[in-house]
Each structure stands twice: as structure tokens, then as C-alpha cells.
Structure 1
Amino acid sequence: MVRSLVQWTKTLSFPARISPNKSSKESVLSSPGSPTITPTPSNMSLSPPCKNEINNMKNSSLNEVNQIYPDPESEKAIMSSVVYCIHHKEGCKWSDELRKLKAHLNSCKHDAIPCIGKCGAQIPRVIMEEHLKTTCPQRRARCQFCNKEFTGHVFEQNHVGNCGYEPLYCENKCGVKVPRRHLSHHKVSECSKRLLPCRFCAKEFVADTLSAHHLKCGRVPVACPNRCDVNVLAKEDLETHLKEECTVSVLNCTYKDAGCRFKGPRHLMEKHLEESSQQHLALVCTVVTKQQHQITSLKSALSRLSLNYSGTLIWKISDFSDKMNEAKNKEGMELVSPPFYTSQYGYKLQASLFPNGNGAGEDSHISVYIKILPGEYDALLRWPFAHSVSFTLFDQSSCPEKACNIVESFIPDPTWKNFQRPSKEPDSLGFGFPKFVSHEMLKKRHFMKDDTMFIRVKVDPSKIVAV
């Protein structure tokens, strides 16, 4: 609001001015704290009326003598002082004489005046326009959604956030904007993300997935394709119905896989099984015979796949102590290795071991030998057998650097019968070392570990004489 000059200068004090009509000798005392009024001196004596006037003044109220008359010169000096606008901290740069301050404040854009909208607030002129547009409780505001007009106070307190025409995103995150007044109906009846129960299985699904669920729902009713007495049944029960219950379904004979080609209704199947038992038995026997041949063929193929074609055999002999005891009690006990080949189409070989020795090593050494067995490709190979052969007994020390293996090898003598092409009945012994390792040596190092030994039989691959 516009301030009067008195409001801005009320803290200023001015000296009392001496009245020109009063004598200095006729002083009138005022109450404590009040200024003294001194009459102007005069050479004439006081007349009775003047005395009466003085007496009347003495009897007058103390409030009447408290009036102060400013000194014109002091007031002029003060009003000529250069001052800043009282709003200089808010950004007003006005500066001039004090007497011009009132006039400036009447137009200063930082000075507060009553709101033009009559809301009762004191608003600086500079923000009056913004106040009338946005914050004045008495402004007129129009809702952008329903286009209705309200006062600012009513609009902010009651209408904002409650307008029924304001579009809102559905809370189910279906991506649709719906007016507030229709939102509840949308969520219940229209929203693609609302939960709906399947009318067949009663389980709840999101609305936009319900159609896909119906395609695979096991409780969807279907009709029997054979049009039997059962009109409707659940989809998940249809297979069982056709196999076990449908009275008109055409069934294949139980022995279909054996070769029976009968097809007929369920009520004729039992009669067919009774009348065709001999035929079914013959069919089954034929199948069994065929399967036996297949099994034999598969075993042979599996055996070929498991054969060793590398020319090197790592032979693991477990429970050696038991085998040694058995060999001591049973003369000539021989352990035989799995057969192996020098190559895929090479010589077929087999190693043998005598735990208690053989020949010169009997009762003191273990003996090892190599046998040449009749192979599938002997007709294509060169004879006599000319590959060098080595036997290695592995030292199973925990420190490989300190291991000390025992190795024995030989080069076949082409004049020996053992290395000629074998007949259907191979040599019972073969060729090797009767004194391969002594029984005492087996105990000195780690040739036996966990009662197991490993022997490698290696045919030198550098001498390939196969055609």
C-alpha cells in the first residue's frame, strides 16, 4: 500500500519552534517530558485579559501543550537529504532527495499495493500480473479438461486432481488414457490387463491372454469325433475316452506291431483276440527272431567300435593279490588282455600275463607274452609280422619325476612260427618274456598301488608293413 511521508519520517525529531506571540518570561510549565512553550518578550505590561488567557492555558489539558511545531530549516535540510529507495535490496536503483521518496513509491515497481483482484494480499507491482494469473485466490481459472471456470482458491483446493474429465493412464499399465470419471468402469470392463476367470477351468488370466489360454485349456468341452453316446467331454479326457470308453471307436489289434492288421469296434476286439491267438503267437515269434538277429548285429558293431586301433594297449590288472594267490594254487593260470589292432586294418594282437610266472620264470617272476590273432584283414597284410614290441610296467609313484618304469622290448624273428600268419587256432603262448619282473621287485617300488598294476604293450608304429 502507499505509505505517507509521516510513516517514513516518524523516527525523525525536530527542535521546538519559539512562538512569536509569547514572552520569554511567561513560560508555561508542561508535564514531565513535554517541551516548554516560551512567549515572545514585550515591553508592555500584561493586561488582565492576557493574564486570564495564561490562566486558561494552565488549566487546559496536558495533551494540548504536547504539540510540537517542527523547525522549517531543519525540516528543509532533512528533506533535502539524498536517500535510496526502501526497496533497493529488492533491486530498485532509485536514489534522490527524501522529499521525492513518497512520489517515487507511488510508482515503484517493487512497492507493495493491495491486490487488484481484491484478495486482500499486499503484492509488489512487479509481480502483480503473475500473481493475478497464478496465485491470487480471487483470480478466474478455467479447467483445461472440463472447460469450467472457478476462482483460484476453489480451483486449487477442490477441482485440481478431482476433475472427472482429466485423462489418466490406467493403473493396470495397459497404456490407455481414460477420463477420471470413466476410469473405474474401464478397469472393470474394458482394460486389456484386467484379470478374468476362464469360464471352463475357473483359473484367472490377464484379459489379453485369455483367448490363447482357451486354445490349450484342458477343460474346454469337445464332442467325441466318433459321435458316440457321450455328447460333450473335456479336451483333456478325450484321449482316454477314445482308448478306453468310446463304444463306437475303431481300434487296431493289440498285436498290430507284430503284423496283425485287424481293425474293428471295441465290442468285436475281444472276439478277435480269442479267435486269432495262434496267428498272433506266430507273428510274435517272427518278430522275436528278427530282433535276435538285430541284437547280434548291434553287438558286433558295438564290439568293433570299442576296439583299440592305436597299436598301444594300456592294460589295467586289478585285484592282483587275489590273482597271484589263485595262480600259485592253480598251475598255468593265464590272464588275457582285450584284443587290439596295430591300425584300423592292421594286425590283431592280444597280450597275456602269468602272475606266478611261466617256464623259466615260474614261481619267481611274472611272465608277459604277445599273441597274433586271426584278423579280418590278414589277407592284405605282409607276413611274417615285423613290428617291434615293447612291454612297460608303470611305477605309480606320486612324484612322476621319481618314477622308474620297467621296459622290455624285442624285434620279431621272421623265421619264428609265432610271427607267421595265424591259422584259425592261434598259438597258445605267443612270444615274450618269461622273467619280465621278479616278485621281489614288485614289492620294492610303487608298481602295485591299491592292488592294481598297469602294463603297456606298444607296437612300434614306424614299421608299417601292411599293404
Structure 2
Amino acid sequence: MVRSLTHWTKTLSFPARISPNKQREPTLTPTPSNNSVASLTTSNNLNNNNNEINSMMNQSQTSLLSEVNQIYSDPESEKAIMSSVVYCIHHKEGCKWSDELRKLKGHLNTCKHDALPCTSKCGAQIPRVLMEDHLKYTCPQRRARCEFCNKEFSGHGLENHIGVCGYEPIYCENKCGVKIHRRHLSQHKSGECSKRLIPCRYCAKEFVADTLAAHNVKCGRVPVVCPNRCDINLLAREELDTHLKEECTISVLACTFKDAGCRFKGPRFSMENHLEENCRQHLNMMCNVVTKQQHQIASLKNALSRLSLNYSGTLIWKISDFSAKLVEAKNKEGMELVSPPFFTSQYGYKLQASLFPNGNGAGEDTHISVYIKILPGEYDALLRWPFAHSVSFTLFDQSSCPEKACNIVESFIPDPTWKNFQRPSKEPDSLGFGFPKFVSHEMLKKRHFLKDDTMFIRVKVDPSKIVAV
């Protein structure tokens, strides 16, 4: 291809060497018009022509060659310039060519980095080294075939066609794992996809297609046949139990008094006659059931009471609402509070504590009085009498700091000659033995013996006969 000077004088870079027949002179860098920059470095003696060269390079690119011929009328000067050694104008893009200026035009015709018009006439200027890839992959005027439908398109048409080709295999959007042609995707999603939503034909709720079969197994609206083959042909599965219990005329039912012992079984229509004819028999059965249940309840109560008994010989007695009980005791003479019974061991003595909020005997109206009673027990015949265990009463100080608590303790060892400690009769002693002046009402107010209107008293029976001090 033959080029004019305007095509290859874009950027001229001269190496730092000159013709061996000339001396080094100042460098000249002329600047052409809008689209081209010509950088010329010469080693000739051109002092008289510098202004003419600068004027020449500012002229239009189309008349550059004729102007050079006019300016350099001196053949020697023109020869010196054209003999100057220059780099290729594409040396920054990687071209390593370097030679005389007169050979640059010929080099550009073969330079791989020089831009040429696209041979398919798409209007793009493409470097020669990239021309093959451009024609094959990016040129809008290239002809290419779709790899899926094998139709031929222009480059621009192929770009628009990719993504809509009906023969392109794509994965189903429902993530069922199937890869199918785009043109069949709608049909697949509506009629074949295992992940499509399908309404249940019975309950109208939507389910994923591959779970519908499992739903139908337990769907409450699926019609089923009555197992008794009654007059009703079909009914919803969820209504079957109600139908069999309350509606099916052929169902064989057990008598409603079957738990009482009636063994009659028959169809629903005969049940009413059975109940009317056997009314007295059913009543007798129910009376027998009630009697048995009463015995069972009494036995369970006794067993429960045994489980709740205290066999440790120590009772922690919680007395709540003491202020109200004290007021009541002041208005009601001889008011006594009694604790739950407790035992010294599983087969030991049975005891009970009692307390008079307003005092008793010497402590009346000023103190609280505490006593211990011996109650008749199941194993008294096996125990030693008189009762000889030491007994202690402790009123707990409920201080928030346990180290500073100051409990009140009173204890005694029973006198074996006193009748209260002999084997009790069926009617226990009405009072027992204890301390009429256990704690004064004034003392209760001084410390934390009452907290939240509640006091705690410990009654401890010790067979070692050690008196607490």
C-alpha cells in the first residue's frame, strides 16, 4: 500500500546519532496540524532554514509533502534530512524498527503496529497486528454463525442474537436441575418441571410438583369411602372419624358403660334400645365402680401422706402472717398454732409442736410460748418409754448477713417421771412440755426474727440427750 507523507509522519523519534558525514546540530521539533505530530531531529547545518521549517509544519497535513519540496529547494539539505536515523512512530507500542527517514514510509506498509482501515469496511482503524482478531471476533461487519442454531449473522446481529437464541441450552429457572433449549423453557416450566407449583385438586393449596404425591397421602380433603359401606359414598378424609363416631348408621359401637363392665356391642340404631332396657343394670355397675374408686383414693391419700412425712427428727416450722395471728390471739383466748407432725425416724416417735402467739400461762400477753407433744404412733409398742430424747427450740434471726445473725435457742431433757413423756394414749396430752416465755413480744421487734411478717422455728429432737446452749 502506498501512503502519503501525512500518514507516516505522525510521531518521528530520532535516536541520538547522525550521519557520519555531518556534524551534530540543534534538535528541531516541529508540530503539525490537529491530527499529526512530526518530531524531526536533524544533525545538518540548517540555521538559515529554521523559520521556514516551523512554518511548514504548521500547514495542513494534506499539503505537507509539497511544502517540504518547496522549502528544501536545496537538494543537499533534503538529502541530509531524509538520511536522518529515526525510530518507528509506533516504538512506544513495541515496534523496534530504526533506520533512515526515507525508509520509514516503506516500513509503515509492513509494520504490525500501524493502524489500517478495517478490510470489512466497518470504519474502524485497526493495528495490523490486531486485524485478524478484529475481523474474527469484534468487527460489526464480520459474518459469524450461532453455535446453537447454526444461523449466520453479522457481528452486531450476533451480539443481539446471543441471549435470545431459542436453541441455546439453559438451566430451568426453578432450579430443578434440567438443562433445556430456551424455546422449550416455557412449556417445561408449565407442564414438566418437578419444581413447578401445582394446586392440590382437593384442598386448592399450592405445592411443589415433586411433593404433591406426599401431600395427597395425608390431605384432609381427599375423598374416601366409609369403611362400613354405609349410604354415604364419599366423604373427606378429615371428616371420617366424626362420621364413624356420630353419623354412620352401620358402625358397631360398644356400650357407653363399657368401662363399668357392660360388654354389649351393636349397630348405632340398636344402642338407644339397649340403654333403655338395661338402665338398672348400668346403675349397679356404676355404683360398684364408685365404691372401688373410693377405696383407691383413700389408699392413695395414705400413701401420699406417708411420702410427705418428716422422718428426720428435725422440723423447720414456717409461720406466715404472724402479725394477723397475734392480733387474733389477743382477741381470742387460748388460740394455739400446731405444726405438721414429724417423726424421729421412719419407725420412731411421732411428735408435734404447738405455739401460742399471745403466750400461755406465765407468758400470756407478753411472750410467745412453744411446746412439744408426743402423739400416738403406729410403732409405739416397739419403742422405749418414757421418751428420753433432748428437745431444742430455735427462733432464727433472718439477718441479711448470716455471720451477724443471733438466733434464740431453748432446750430441755425430758423428766422420765412426768406423765407427758410416757407412752401416749389414743388421746394425746392437750398441752405437752415447753417454754411459756420463749421469746417476748418486745424482743421480736428488736432484730430480724420477723421478716416479711414470717418467722421460722426449728424443733430438733436428739437421742444423744445433749442440751443446746
SS in 1 for 2:148: coil
Instruction: Quote the offset at 1:182 in angstroms.
Output: 0.6
Relative to structure 1, is the Cα distance of residues 67 and 232 closer, same or farther in structure 2, using a 3 angstrom cutoff?
Answer: same
Q: What CA distance in whole angstroms lies between the structure 2 residues aligned with 1:287 and 1:340?
A: 35
Question: Considering only aligned residues, what root-mean-square deviation do their CA atoms show, in Å?
Answer: 3.0
Match of 2:85 in 1: 82
On the 8 A contact 2:118/2:125 being kept in 1, the answer is yes
Match of 2:256 in 1: 254
Instruction: Quote the offset at 1:439 in angstroms.
Output: 2.7
Relative to structure 1, is the Cα distance of residues 154 and 413 closer, same or farther in structure 2, using a 3 angstrom cutoff?
Answer: same
Larger CA Rg, structure 1 vs 2: 1
On the 8 A contact 1:311/1:461 being kept in 2, the answer is no
Check if 1:107 corresponds to 2:110. Answer: yes
Match of 1:140 in 2: 143
Of 448, 457, 460 in structure 2, the residue corresponding to residue 458 of structure 1 is 460
Match of 2:3 in 1: 3
Of 121, 125, 130 in structure 1, the residue corresponding to residue 128 of structure 2 is 125
Q: What CA distance in whole angstroms lies between the structure 2 residues aligned with 1:102 and 1:405?
A: 121
Runs (5+) with no aligned partner, structure 1: 16-32, 35-62
SS in 2 for 1:178: strand
Match of 1:276 in 2: 278
On the 8 A contact 1:368/1:434 being kept in 2, the answer is yes
Instruction: Quote the offset at 1:200 in angstroms.
Output: 1.0
Of 311, 317, 321 in structure 1, the residue corresponding to residue 319 of structure 2 is 317
SS in 2 for 1:209: helix
SS in 2 for 1:208: helix
SS in 2 for 1:284: helix
Instruction: Quote the offset at 1:261 in angstroms.
Output: 0.8
Instruction: Quote the offset at 1:398 in angstroms.
Output: 5.0
Instruction: Quote the offset at 1:420 in angstroms.
Output: 4.4
Of 131, 153, 158 in structure 2, the residue corresponding to residue 150 of structure 1 is 153
Of 337, 341, 355 in structure 1, the residue corresponding to residue 339 of structure 2 is 337
Q: What CA distance in whole angstroms lies between the structure 2 residues aligned with 1:169 and 1:377?
A: 88
Q: What CA distance in whole angstroms lies between the structure 2 residues aligned with 1:92 and 1:120?
A: 25
Of 197, 205, 208 in structure 2, the residue corresponding to residue 206 of structure 1 is 208
Match of 2:187 in 1: 185
Relative to structure 1, is the Cα distance of residues 328 and 122 closer, same or farther in structure 2, using a 3 angstrom cutoff?
Answer: closer
Indicate the larger mover: 448-457 or 222-231: 448-457
Q: What CA distance in whole angstroms lies between the structure 2 residues aligned with 1:343 and 1:128?
A: 110
Q: What CA distance in whole angstroms lies between the structure 1 residues aligned with 2:418 and 2:85?
A: 141
Instruction: Quote the offset at 1:108 in angstroms.
Output: 1.2
Match of 1:40 in 2: none
Instruction: Quote the offset at 1:184 in angstroms.
Output: 0.6
Q: What CA distance in whole angstroms lies between the structure 2 residues aligned with 1:236 and 1:2?
A: 94
On the 8 A contact 2:314/2:461 being kept in 1, the answer is yes
On the 8 A contact 1:313/1:340 being kept in 2, the answer is yes
Check if 1:95 corresponds to 2:98. Answer: yes
Of 207, 213, 222 in structure 2, the residue corresponding to residue 220 of structure 1 is 222
On the 8 A contact 1:194/1:206 being kept in 2, the answer is yes
Q: What CA distance in whole angstroms lies between the structure 1 residues aligned with 2:297 and 2:453?
A: 37
Q: What CA distance in whole angstroms lies between the structure 2 residues aligned with 1:197 and 1:346?
A: 76
SS in 2 for 1:353: strand
Q: What CA distance in whole angstroms lies between the structure 1 residues aligned with 2:7 and 2:186?
A: 61
SS in 1 for 2:353: strand
Q: Aligned partner of 1:352: which letter?
A: S
Instruction: Quote the offset at 1:125 in angstroms.
Output: 1.7
Instruction: Quote the offset at 1:213 in angstroms.
Output: 1.4
Q: Aligned partner of 2:135: which letter?
A: L
Of 394, 404, 407 in structure 1, the residue corresponding to residue 406 of structure 2 is 404
Instruction: Quote the offset at 1:397 in angstroms.
Output: 4.2
Match of 1:39 in 2: none
* TM-score, normalised via structure 2 length: 0.80
Deviations 1:220-249 (A, max 9, x none): 111111111111111111112112221111
Q: What CA distance in whole angstroms lies between the structure 1 residues aligned with 2:276 and 2:437?
A: 72
**1:415-434 → structure 2 map (5 Å cutoff):** 415-434=417-436
Deviations 1:324-358 (A, max 9, x none): 34434444332110112334444332111122323
Check if 1:235 corresponds to 2:237. Answer: yes
Instruction: Quote the offset at 1:270 in angstroms.
Output: 1.0
Check if 1:360 corresponds to 2:362. Answer: yes
Matched residue count: 416
Deviations 1:281-331 (A, max 9, x none): 000001111111111122122222222334332212233344334434444
On the 8 A contact 1:90/1:110 being kept in 2, the answer is yes
Deviations 1:183-211 (A, max 9, x none): 11111111122121111112222212211
Relative to structure 1, is the Cα distance of residues 343 and 94 closer, same or farther in structure 2, using a 3 angstrom cutoff?
Answer: farther
SS in 2 for 1:291: helix
Q: What CA distance in whole angstroms lies between the structure 2 residues aligned with 1:175 and 1:339?
A: 77
Identity within the alignment, %: 85
* TM-score, normalised via structure 1 length: 0.80
Match of 1:43 in 2: none
Relative to structure 1, is the Cα distance of residues 5 and 402 closer, same or farther in structure 2, using a 3 angstrom cutoff?
Answer: same
Instruction: Quote the offset at 1:375 in angstroms.
Output: 3.3
Q: What CA distance in whole angstroms lies between the structure 1 residues aligned with 2:265 and 2:170?
A: 66
Q: What CA distance in whole angstroms lies between the structure 2 residues aligned with 1:330 and 1:6?
A: 133
Of 433, 444, 447 in structure 2, the residue corresponding to residue 445 of structure 1 is 447
Relative to structure 1, is the Cα distance of residues 383 and 175 closer, same or farther in structure 2, using a 3 angstrom cutoff?
Answer: farther
Q: What CA distance in whole angstroms lies between the structure 2 residues aligned with 1:377 and 1:2?
A: 136
Relative to structure 1, is the Cα distance of residues 463 and 75 closer, same or farther in structure 2, using a 3 angstrom cutoff?
Answer: farther
Match of 2:165 in 1: 163
On the 8 A contact 2:354/2:372 being kept in 1, the answer is yes
Q: What CA distance in whole angstroms lies between the structure 2 residues aligned with 1:192 and 1:463?
A: 87
Match of 1:264 in 2: 266
Of 296, 299, 305 in structure 2, the residue corresponding to residue 294 of structure 1 is 296
Runs (5+) with no aligned partner, structure 2: 10-31, 33-37, 47-54, 57-65
Deviations 1:106-156 (A, max 9, x none): 221111123344434221122122212211223332322223333322211
Deviations 1:22-65 (A, max 9, x none): xxxxxxxxxxx99xxxxxxxxxxxxxxxxxxxxxxxxxxxx9xx
SS in 1 for 2:309: coil
Deviations 1:399-429 (A, max 9, x none): 5554432111223445544444444433333
